Chain A
Amino acid sequence: MPDLDSISRLTLWTAIAIYALAFIAYAFDLARRSSTVKAEERMLVMSDGTVSQAPVDGDVDAPVRKRFVMARIGTSLMVLGWLFHLAATLTRGFANGHVPWANLYEFAMTGTLLVVLVYLVMLTRIDLRYLGTFISGIVLVLLGAASAYFYVEVKPLADPLKSVWLVIHVFVASLSVGIFALAFALSVMQLLQSRRERRVAEGISNAGPGFLRTLPDTVRLENLAYRFAVVGFIFWTFTLIAGSIWAYFAWSRFWGFDVKETWTFIIWVLYAGYIHARATRGWRGTPSAWLSITGFAAVIFNFTIVNVYFKGLHAYSGLS
């Protein structure tokens, strides 16, 4: 019988393949949404003989209730992929004998598992399938890169990692990354939507990608993004505090501007700025959306570049 870690790797590659299919399905969904809207426009033109976009755009507040078959297929594949992903993560954990988030490879595995989990849980409450392409895409890239380049063999934990805070601090950090990812995707959609709304208002005929018409309006997208960012921010604050407590026991000081600490702080300040920006006249809307995007860019930077290339105390990527 092959060892647990080989099973984990195989299962993970299976999950990646399924996520790839989900990505394709979601991409088709977006494309179809564009063409659905176009067909509707044509019908409008034919029925009253005048070319008018207004009725279609007026519908933005109540998104067209369509079945979105491809999106459904995408979501089903996401669930299936996630189950394989979960199995891969669990078997890696059992192979380890400790939590599966102690090096960069495992952290990527658990982090993306949580990104998908947050997305799927949210789907039961709000229709966010228009983010499916993005979510499956980012998970695909991160998991693929982790499997291909960050893989390390199962190893016993290094002494500093033998702490209950490994379980708490790192898990909550991954969870907040999952939530920030959704906020980021919504902010991107918000920017696209806002551009389209502006162009529609100016009477430009080619207002942008057609699928945007099936999405909620800018304000709704912004509100959603804000709510995710706020929850993520709370978790991130907790991550910061838990990390400081751990650092106090492991490194004798709770704060020392280690590279990772610094970036965690930068991300915290950026999201604090985002929350303030949303409450500041002249900053709500597009400028604050850019802050949310910058915040997530910093998260990804912290997760990849800082882990791999920067020298510091958080040298647990397992890569040499």
Chain B
Amino acid sequence: MSSSPSEGTPNRRTKGGQDGSSSVSDPLRPADHIDSADAADDGITQPKLGFVGWLRWGWRQLTSMRVALILLLFLAIGAVPGSVFPQRSADPNGVLKYKTDNPDLFPILDKLSMFDVYSSPWFSAVYILLFISLIGCIIPRIKHHAKALRALPPRTPARLARLEDHRSVSRGTSAGSATADADAAASIDVAEKQLKALGYRVARYDRGRVWSVSAERGYWRETGNLIFHIALVGVLITVGVGGGFAYTGQRVVVEGKSYVNALIDYNSINRGRFVPDDAFVPYALTLDSFDVTYEALGAPGAGQAGNFKANLTVREPDGSKRKAAVEVNHPLSVGGDNVYLLGNGYAPSITVRNAQGVEVFSGPVEFLPQDNNMTSLGVLKLPDGMPEQLGLVGFLYPTPAKLKSGAFTSIRGDLNFPLLTLDVYQGDLGIDGGNPVSVYQLDTNDMTKLNGRGTDVKSIQLQPGETADLPDGLGTVTFENESPAGAKDFSKSVKRYVSLQIHHDDSVVWVLVFALLALAGLGLALFVPRRRMWVKATASDDSIHLEYAGLARGEDPTLAAAVDDLVRGHERLLDAAASRHPVKGA
């Protein structure tokens, strides 16, 4: 490519690839990247594109910066409606409420997947295209960078002075061109060592009476960039694949009761498509007790509940037992699952006897909290043992107070003279049809109300340990007092239950690993400066002319300072060398 090097003047050796912009060590970027060379846009007759041509054109578009950027913006905009409308995945009740409140708008919005934004076709299309674009962009870059990591820094440009960050210094030598030549060569030797010590990869390009070292550093910048983007793909894939092997189930456990980790023992479960029926490790959990504290009256945040703690006995599959606790922020790890404390409530123990005194039902009934002071609503369904099916709707007021309207409310969450009120419905519970019906709701369409508001008979009101007659002589109902023997107050009179969430997902660790890799890659990609440095020495009769230049590859705000440092360091080293080896003939 160049003419004979011995011929001499540096100006003659400048053809081809020496301006440092098209070498293998450049990061490969999409054509519309700000650092890539302007594509020759001659705008003259172009050959007609065939099918493959169009495919190639489309691919190039998809992997361009511009399209990636637009897809990113679509992703941001597309995520917004999911925060405006309730989502089925996060807030199913909110969706039902929205449907009731906006019956006309709902079907249209639902067609547009506004209630399942993040699994909607259009949102998926955006992120899938984005990731295809990303993969299409990084694969060639990985190949290119792998080559660059093995390549030498490019040839020293002929005219370093054209670069923006350029310094030049002249150093005198004593006399004679041989000395100047030796000095020039030695000065580049020094610069080479200096740059190497600074972490640069170096290559020597000496021609005639011009000695130069070309250096490049910051390969980690592109490596980090690639790690970041690959790690993002890794996160997406592990989340997608991991979901297929994950399950999340809920289970309600009353104090003193147990459950076994098996599919049929869950109240509800979501499982990935690859989770078989027998995937569950058969450990058992018993809820020994549930702790909660309430801020005292008069204290800041009075009545606020906290320090929730479910004390459990764990029976491992091998039969060994241990004590454990589940708290908020501190799930229990057992059998490869994590057990979380999701909620809690009261489960008053109720006993119902029929007119003959035969026990029809006896046990704790889980009531759902309705407010912060644990006013709780529960339903007891009695399909058998009574002349007709009975349904009981109860309110539990842990610390009752009477409102002006005569209705009760609870003023604290803990148990101070708790009160249970019961309304009785008679008729068809609607549970014989085979349709799934919530145990927490009573369908009163085919039932007659026997007492409470709207009837002539008062609601049943019970304190723990009390028994009352059911209306119409149907029998009796007892609110059992669960206090331990010798209890002085009602604080333990009603059992509590916890709602546990059992979650299994082996992919989380990998998601975390990829996320941290992405973070590390981002740090490298944004903060490691990628730059080239050149030091060139030209010998003349009685002096050497030193030139220094730096070229940024990507964002590099400290380049000028780095060139200055290089000049200063080099001068110091040369001075030191000169004082050690006094110039011949001096």
Please report A residues at the B interface, Cβ cutoff 8 Å: 153-160, 162-163, 223, 226-227, 230, 233-234, 237-238, 241, 244-246, 248-259, 262-263, 265-266, 269-270, 272-273, 275-284, 306, 310-312
A259 touches B306 (CB 8 A): no
B328 touches A280 (CB 8 A): no
Q: How far apart are A38's CB and chain B's nearest CB, in angstroms?
A: 33
- Cβ–Cβ < 8 Å partners of A277 in chain B: 69
A155 touches B304 (CB 8 A): yes
B331 touches A252 (CB 8 A): yes
Q: Which of B79, B118, B239, B308 has the most CB of A within 10 A?
A: B79
A280 touches B34 (CB 8 A): yes
Additional 13 contacts, C-beta under 8 A, given A263-B83, A281-B32, A311-B91: A154-B300, A162-B328, A233-B526, A234-B522, A241-B515, A249-B329, A252-B248, A253-B503, A273-B72, A273-B73, A276-B65, A276-B69, A279-B29
- Cβ–Cβ < 8 Å partners of A227 in chain B: 557
The CA of A223 and the CA of B557, in the complex, are separated in Å by: 8
Assuming the A-B contacts A237-B518, A262-B82, are A155 and B76 also in contact, with contact meaning beta carbons closer than 8 angstroms in the complex?
no
B300 touches A156 (CB 8 A): yes
The CA of A97 and the CA of B300, in the complex, are separated in Å by: 12
Assuming the A-B contacts A258-B90, A262-B83, are A238 and B519 also in contact, with contact meaning beta carbons closer than 8 angstroms in the complex?
yes
**Is residue B211 contacting chain A, with contact meaning CB distance below 8 A?**
no
**Is residue B33 contacting chain A, with contact meaning CB distance below 8 A?**
yes
B307 touches A234 (CB 8 A): no
- Cβ–Cβ < 8 Å partners of A276 in chain B: 65, 68-69, 72
Q: How far apart are A55's CB and chain B's nearest CB, in angstroms?
A: 24
Binary interface encoding of chain B residues 70-101 relative to chain A, with 1 for a CB under 8 A from any of its CBs, else 0: 00110110011011001101110010000000
Question: In the complex, which residues 517-557 of chain B have their Cβ closer than 8 Å to any Cβ of chain A?
Answer: 518-519, 522-523, 526, 555, 557
**B328 touches which one: A160, A257, A306 (CB < 8 A)?**
A160
The CA of A251 and the CA of B341, in the complex, are separated in Å by: 9
Number of chain B residues close to chain A: CB under 8 A:
56
Q: How far apart are B89's CB and chain A's nearest CB, in angstroms?
A: 7
The CA of A254 and the CA of B34, in the complex, are separated in Å by: 36
Assuming the A-B contacts A257-B118, A280-B66, are A269 and B76 also in contact, with contact meaning beta carbons closer than 8 angstroms in the complex?
yes
Q: How far apart are A110's CB and chain B's nearest CB, in angstroms?
A: 20
Query: Which residue of A is nearest B519, CB measured?
Result: A237
- Cβ–Cβ < 8 Å partners of B340 in chain A: 251-252
Query: Which residue of A is nearest B65, CB measured?
Result: A280
The CA of A88 and the CA of B341, in the complex, are separated in Å by: 36
- Cβ–Cβ < 8 Å partners of A263 in chain B: 83
Query: Which residue of B is nearest A306, CB measured?
Result: B83
- Cβ–Cβ < 8 Å partners of B304 in chain A: 155-156, 158
- Cβ–Cβ < 8 Å partners of B76 in chain A: 266, 269-270, 273
Q: How far apart are A279's CB and chain B's nearest CB, in angstroms?
A: 5
Q: How far apart are A248's CB and chain B's nearest CB, in angstroms?
A: 6
B501 touches A252 (CB 8 A): yes
B94 touches A159 (CB 8 A): no
Binary interface encoding of chain B residues 478-513 relative to chain A, with 1 for a CB under 8 A from any of its CBs, else 0: 000000000000000000000001010000100110
The CA of A248 and the CA of B331, in the complex, are separated in Å by: 9
The CA of A53 and the CA of B47, in the complex, are separated in Å by: 51
Question: In the complex, which residues 115-150 of chain B have their Cβ closer than 8 Å to any Cβ of chain A?
Answer: 117-118
**Is residue B330 contacting chain A, with contact meaning CB distance below 8 A?**
yes
User: What would 14 A/B residue contacts be, using CB atoms closer than 8 Å?
Assistant: A155-B301, A156-B301, A156-B306, A163-B329, A223-B557, A234-B522, A238-B519, A241-B512, A246-B329, A249-B330, A254-B508, A273-B76, A276-B68, A276-B72
Q: How far apart are B302's CB and chain A's nearest CB, in angstroms?
A: 9
**Is residue B189 contacting chain A, with contact meaning CB distance below 8 A?**
no
The CA of A312 and the CA of B338, in the complex, are separated in Å by: 23
B331 touches A249 (CB 8 A): yes
The CA of A277 and the CA of B67, in the complex, are separated in Å by: 11
Assuming the A-B contacts A156-B304, A223-B557, A252-B503, are A279 and B329 also in contact, with contact meaning beta carbons closer than 8 angstroms in the complex?
no
**A269 touches which one: B32, B72, B94, B328 (CB < 8 A)?**
B72
Query: Which residue of A is nearest B38, CB measured?
Result: A281
- Cβ–Cβ < 8 Å partners of B83 in chain A: 259, 262-263, 266, 306, 310
A282 touches B32 (CB 8 A): yes
B87 touches A257 (CB 8 A): yes
B69 touches A281 (CB 8 A): no
B80 touches A266 (CB 8 A): yes
Assuming the A-B contacts A163-B329, A257-B89, are A283 and B522 also in contact, with contact meaning beta carbons closer than 8 angstroms in the complex?
no
The CA of A33 and the CA of B66, in the complex, are separated in Å by: 39
Question: In the complex, which residues 284-307 of chain B have their Cβ closer than 8 Å to any Cβ of chain A?
Answer: 295, 300-301, 304, 306-307
- Cβ–Cβ < 8 Å partners of B468 in chain A: none
**B82 touches which one: A257, A275, A306 (CB < 8 A)?**
A257
Assuming the A-B contacts A250-B328, A266-B79, A282-B66, are A155 and B87 also in contact, with contact meaning beta carbons closer than 8 angstroms in the complex?
no
Query: Which residue of B is nearest A5, CB measured?
Result: B300
- Cβ–Cβ < 8 Å partners of A279 in chain B: 29, 33-35, 65
**Is residue B577 contacting chain A, with contact meaning CB distance below 8 A?**
no
- Cβ–Cβ < 8 Å partners of A281 in chain B: 32-34, 65
Q: How far apart are B478's CB and chain A's nearest CB, in angstroms?
A: 34
Query: Which residue of B is nearest A158, CB measured?
Result: B306
- Cβ–Cβ < 8 Å partners of B275 in chain A: none
Q: Which of A223, A246, A276 has the most CB of B within 10 A?
A: A276
- Cβ–Cβ < 8 Å partners of A230 in chain B: 526, 555
Binary interface encoding of chain B residues 54-69 relative to chain A, with 1 for a CB under 8 A from any of its CBs, else 0: 0000000000011011
The CA of A155 and the CA of B307, in the complex, are separated in Å by: 14
**Is residue B151 contacting chain A, with contact meaning CB distance below 8 A?**
no
**B526 touches which one: A159, A234, A273 (CB < 8 A)?**
A234
The CA of A257 and the CA of B117, in the complex, are separated in Å by: 10
**Is residue B516 contacting chain A, with contact meaning CB distance below 8 A?**
yes
B508 touches A248 (CB 8 A): yes
- Cβ–Cβ < 8 Å partners of A226 in chain B: 555
Q: How far apart are B109's CB and chain A's nearest CB, in angstroms?
A: 17
The CA of A277 and the CA of B328, in the complex, are separated in Å by: 42
**B34 touches which one: A249, A270, A284 (CB < 8 A)?**
A284
Binary interface encoding of chain B residues 296-328 relative to chain A, with 1 for a CB under 8 A from any of its CBs, else 0: 000011001011100000000000000000011
Q: How far apart are A131's CB and chain B's nearest CB, in angstroms?
A: 18
The CA of A230 and the CA of B522, in the complex, are separated in Å by: 10
- Cβ–Cβ < 8 Å partners of B33 in chain A: 279-281
The CA of A164 and the CA of B512, in the complex, are separated in Å by: 18
B523 touches A234 (CB 8 A): yes
A254 touches B300 (CB 8 A): no
- Cβ–Cβ < 8 Å partners of A237 in chain B: 518-519, 522
- Cβ–Cβ < 8 Å partners of A283 in chain B: 66, 69
Q: How far apart are A127's CB and chain B's nearest CB, in angstroms?
A: 16
Question: In the complex, which residues 451-493 of chain B have their Cβ closer than 8 Å to any Cβ of chain A?
Answer: none
- Cβ–Cβ < 8 Å partners of B86 in chain A: 311
Query: Which residue of A is nearest B292, CB measured?
Result: A159
**B307 touches which one: A159, A265, A272 (CB < 8 A)?**
A159
9 closest residue pairs by CB, A with B: A155-B301, A159-B328, A280-B65, A269-B76, A273-B72, A252-B340, A262-B83, A259-B83, A252-B503
**A280 touches which one: B69, B118, B327, B516 (CB < 8 A)?**
B69
Q: How far apart are B298's CB and chain A's nearest CB, in angstroms?
A: 13
The CA of A283 and the CA of B90, in the complex, are separated in Å by: 37
- Cβ–Cβ < 8 Å partners of B331 in chain A: 249, 252
Q: How far apart are A182's CB and chain B's nearest CB, in angstroms?
A: 15
The CA of A259 and the CA of B87, in the complex, are separated in Å by: 10
Q: How far apart are B119's CB and chain A's nearest CB, in angstroms?
A: 10
B308 touches A159 (CB 8 A): yes
Query: Which residue of B is nearest A302, CB measured?
Result: B83
Question: In the complex, which residues 538-586 of chain B have their Cβ closer than 8 Å to any Cβ of chain A?
Answer: 555, 557
Q: How far apart are B421's CB and chain A's nearest CB, in angstroms?
A: 27
Q: How far apart are B431's CB and chain A's nearest CB, in angstroms?
A: 31
